[in-house]
Amino acid sequence: MKKKNKKLDILMILTIIAGVLVLGAAGTLIGLEAGRLQTEVDMAKAERVAKKSAADSGVSAAVAESGLSDSNLTESIDPEAAAMALAATGDVIRGAAVAAIPNVSEYADAVQNGNLVTPIPRNSLENAGTGENPTEGNGFIVCIDAGHETNQITDLEPNGPGSENMKQGVTSGTQGEWSGVYEYQVNLDVTLKLRDALTSRGYTVVLCREINDVTMSNVQRAQIASDANADIFLRIHCNSSDSSSVDGVLCYAPTSSNPYLSEEVIERSQALSRIMRDSQCEETGQEALDNLYQDDMTGINWAKMPVTIVEMGFMSNYEEDMFLTSEDGQDQIVRGLANGVDEYFSQYGKMEAAE
């Protein structure tokens, strides 16, 4: 009996030992798996730390470049300097998108909608939207004066160089009897369109004014043309009459005895006036009136190059008032005037500079 019990005790001990060994092995396996999992966790954590460290280094470098130090980041940062640094960093990132923007219009949309602030190259601005290079210059310079302005100048100035005859600096012009549009606005509209037309034909164009709200006398306008070394000086105006039945186109030119201009300037001015009138009428179908030759036009007398005042039509006449203030009418006038400039230079070319 005792032997049997002893065998049972030994069997129980062996069973317990086996169980312990099994549990130990299982614990080892569990520990190894737990270790593996912990290693993966640690590696992931280390990767996140590394990324954060790199990012912090990048920020520190950007801060250092912008002139901000770690010590003053948490203290007194100049808001304006910080904003400039952030904007500069953003510009570098956003600027890469600019190269894919083909023209100015799309670039403007991108600026508004995408907050792109990096400027596109100057040559892209010049050629934007055209699909081709700008027209090569033909060597001629045209100065265009959009007659009158919003407010007249009542101060007096000499009618010509050395003249004792004084005239008002500039008047405000006429107004459409039916359209209600002021002459100075029509003059400017046509001038801007004529500038574009002539530029596309290869001319260098200088404008006396591009807005209505200026203070610019007739002598000053002639001086702009002289300073630009213009080959011709076109002065764009509209006409008016007490009779609403009067219509047509005419130009003002100096008389052959003008005391302020050289003989060549007078002759060329008269030819320019004739050509500009005829070219406009040929394009628009308006009546060509007799040109007027006078020596009391300050803007003519102070010019140093061929000059004309183009009276494009009468704003006191219903049909011409409507024509002058319409887009189609202005486009026709511009084509006629641009053709006139071409015709003048094809006949006369450049005037030799006075010695």
Torsion of CA 123, 128, 130, 131, to 10 degrees: 80
pLDDT tens digits along 169-220: 999 899 999 999 999 999 999 999 999 999 999 999 999 999 999 999 999 9
The residue behind tokens 């036009």 is 297
Predicted local confidence at residue 136, as pLDDT: 66
Q: Which two tokens stand for residue 76?
A: 């007194």
pLDDT tens digits along 289-332: 999 999 999 999 999 999 999 999 999 999 999 999 999 999 99
Rounded CA separation 325/316 (Å): 12
Torsion of CA 220, 218, 225, 293, to 10 degrees: -150
Rounded CA separation 309/238 (Å): 10
Pick the CATH number of 141-348 from 3.40.630.40, 1.10.3720.10, 1.10.10.10, 3.90.1170.40: 3.40.630.40
pLDDT tens digits along 47-100: 444 444 444 444 344 434 444 444 343 344 444 444 444 443 333 333 333 333
pLDDT tens digits along 228-271: 999 999 999 999 999 999 999 999 999 999 999 999 999 999 99
Residue 224: CB partners within 8 Å, gap ≥ 6? 143, 145, 206, 208
The residue behind tokens 């500038």 is 195
Contact 320, 179 (CB under 8 A): no
Predicted local confidence at residue 13, as pLDDT: 61
Torsions phi, psi of 204, nearest 5?
A: -90, 125
Q: Which SS3 state, helix, strand or coil, does residue 243 take?
A: coil
Rounded CA separation 355/349 (Å): 18
Contact 212, 188 (CB under 8 A): yes
Distances in Å between the Cα of 37 and the Cα atoms of 41, 44, 49, 261 are 6, 11, 18, 100
Contact 273, 251 (CB under 8 A): yes
Amino acid found at 142:
V
According to DSSP, the residues that pair with 311 across neighbouring strands are 237, 250
Rounded CA separation 209/192 (Å): 10
Predicted local confidence at residue 74, as pLDDT: 39
Torsions phi, psi of 292, nearest 5?
A: -110, 135
